[in-house]
Amino acid sequence: MTQLSPENNASNLPTGEASIPQQQIVPVGEVVPNLSYSSLMVMLKSLTNQTGIAKVETAHLSWKLLVYSGSLVLIEEKNEFLHILTRKLKAQKVQLNLSIWKSLSQPSLGTIDLCQLLSEIYESDRENVLIVFKEILFENLLAISLEKNFSLRWKPISEKLSITLPTWQIADLEKAITKATEQWRSFVYARHPYQTVQILDTDCAIAQVPLFTEVTNGKYRISEVADRFKQHINQTALKLDKLAESRTVAILPLPKRLNDTKDLLNLEESLDEINPKRSQPKVMIIDDSPVLLKQFGNLITSWGYQLKLVNESSLATLEMLTEKPNIVFIDINMPNLNGFDLIKQIRRQPSLSTLPLVLVTSENSITNNFRAKWANCRFLGKPRTSADILEFREQVKAILQEFAPITK
């Protein structure tokens, strides 16, 4: 873990109402949008001698930062902080009484109440709890530094607070995170500590390690993988980046943040009105031939389907996990990874185990037909002559109507 030193201990923390300068750089209660990371840090550092909560949001994530007399006390990631805290406390073998564990499980714990609870935890085992606080702070700062576009809303706290927690100068934290951020930006696939990891090659040596397969099911963040292996997060990211390069794992992109269920439903309805095809099934075609991709793709879109074309078979499984197609057409004869080997890789993914797959080839042999049925796939012969095109179109249409019909 990087060297993060608290500004002061609990016994030195002031209490009371914070004074607010006459010239306020950060507007109170207003959302300041489209901030870069550097401009965000300038605004946070301008909160000298102030106490309050800074809500920071990006397209992917949301945090609450508790600022106490101009110093940072806590970074609370929305919906994840308590889960991460509990995991790290247990890993550090911090002994807490039952009442504290029950309090941590409360779903609607406010930031101020949370700080009071954290103060109790800190007082119970300062040495080990400080390690936990540092790790959480470091990971959140790293996550923030690797985002690009921010919004900020500042809400001062006028009530008197008594927080017995270590605090950090924001400027010092910014300097401490710089080296780690630079290393992450050198990675090709691991771009953010909150990305999740999905194993692709289950036959490789490392896939035989039970813990590795457990944490590479697409549900665990890189930061949590690091915790499970008891490694520094940068070291874990470096190893996963190399495994992603060899197609052993896929590092999945960050999902978009959802604000509110009602807003999401309204957005979905609005988008469907603007683009009716958006709600229609998505068809993926995997072939190394640009000509076939174009011709086959034009046919699919002419029927009103969404389309995703993939010309590199080794990337296909990752594309499926990301794009979530309703049906996939796969060429058999492709370099790097042929159609049958690709199907084996696809079927090892729990979320893709029942995805409709159609093998498409010019080699319309009994053997290929049998292998397709054995792999629980449909088989479709490519047209050999212009006279076969009409029959091919009808076969494709029948398969689509069976597995991915268009809704009217």
**Dihedral angle computed from the Cα positions of residues 360, 366, 371 and 373, in that order, rounded to the nearest 10 degrees:** 80
Is 32 within the bounds of a domain? yes
In terms of residue numbers, what domain contains 174? 10-182
Is 3 within the bounds of a domain? no
Query: What is the model's pLDDT at position 284?
Result: 95
User: Which of these three, 182, 213, 240, is where a domain ends?
Assistant: 182
pLDDT per residue over 233-245, tens digit each?
Answer: 999 999 999 998 8
Return mean pLDDT, the chain: 82
Q: Domain check: are 227 and 270 in the same one?
A: no
The Cα–Cα gap between 101 and 371 comes to 54
Domain count across the chain: 3
Q: Domain check: are 65 and 169 in the same one?
A: yes
* Range 106-126 average pLDDT: 79
pLDDT per residue over 93-115, tens digit each?
Answer: 888 777 777 776 666 667 777 88
The Cα–Cα gap between 115 and 118 comes to 5
Residue 398 has pLDDT above 80, yes or no: yes
Residue 326 has pLDDT above 90, yes or no: yes
Is 5 within the bounds of a domain? no
pLDDT per residue over 131-159, tens digit each?
Answer: 999 999 999 999 999 998 999 999 998 77
Q: 258 pLDDT band (50/70/90 cuts)?
A: low
Is 87 within the bounds of a domain? yes
DSSP 3-state of 149:
coil
Q: Residue 285 has which token pair?
A: 């075609």
Q: Domain check: are 388 and 277 in the same one?
A: yes
Query: What is the model's pLDDT at position 5?
Result: 63
The Cα–Cα gap between 134 and 5 comes to 8
- Say which residue the tokens 């790790």 belong to: 135
DSSP secondary structure letter of residue 153: E
Q: Domain check: are 110 and 132 in the same one?
A: yes
Q: Domain check: are 282 and 149 in the same one?
A: no
Q: Domain check: are 147 and 211 in the same one?
A: no
Is 225 within the bounds of a domain? yes
Q: Domain check: are 276 and 235 in the same one?
A: no
Is 376 within the bounds of a domain? yes
Q: Residue 223 has which token pair?
A: 């930061």
Share of the chain above pLDDT 70, in %: 83
The Cα–Cα gap between 24 and 344 comes to 60
Is 188 within the bounds of a domain? no
State whether the Cα torsion 59-61-65-71 is positive or negative: negative
pLDDT per residue over 170-197, tens digit each?
Answer: 888 889 899 999 999 999 999 999 999 8
User: Which of these three, 148, 182, 216, is where a domain ends?
Assistant: 182
Q: Domain check: are 146 and 236 in the same one?
A: no
The Cα–Cα gap between 360 and 380 comes to 5
Q: 271 pLDDT band (50/70/90 cuts)?
A: very low
Surface-to-core class of residue 242, CB atoms within 10 Å of its CB (0-12 exposed, 13-18 middle, 19+ buried): middle
The Cα–Cα gap between 221 and 237 comes to 10
Q: Domain check: are 40 and 158 in the same one?
A: yes
Q: Residue 28 has which token pair?
A: 């109170």
Surface-to-core class of residue 298, CB atoms within 10 Å of its CB (0-12 exposed, 13-18 middle, 19+ buried): exposed
Is 240 within the bounds of a domain? yes
Q: Domain check: are 46 and 113 in the same one?
A: yes
Distances (CA, A) of 216 to 40, 52, 243, 245: 33, 38, 11, 15
Q: Domain check: are 168 and 237 in the same one?
A: no
Q: What is the CATH number of the domain that holds 273?
A: 3.40.50.2300
List, in order, residues 6 or more apart from 29 with CB less than 8 Å away: 153, 154, 155
Beta bridge partners of 359: 330, 379
Q: Residue 202 has which token pair?
A: 């289950």
Q: Does residue 181 or residue 206 have the better pLDDT?
A: 181
For 65-126, the DSSP string reads EEEETTEEEEEEETTTHHHHHHHHHHHTT----HHHHHHHT-TT--HHHHHHHHHHHHHH-H
The Cα–Cα gap between 31 and 206 comes to 47
User: Which of these three, 230, 251, 272, is where a domain ends?
Assistant: 251
Query: What is the model's pLDDT at position 322?
Result: 83
Q: 372 pLDDT band (50/70/90 cuts)?
A: low
For 162-209, the DSSP string reads ---S-BB-HHHHHHHHHHHHHHHHT-SS---TT-EEEE--TTSSGGGS
Q: Domain check: are 53 and 125 in the same one?
A: yes
Share of the chain above pLDDT 90, in %: 30
Q: Which of 133-142, 253-262, 336-345, 378-387 has the highest mean pLDDT?
A: 133-142
Q: 280 pLDDT band (50/70/90 cuts)?
A: confident
* Range 236-259 average pLDDT: 85
| Phi, psi values for residue 310, rounded to 5° | -130, 120
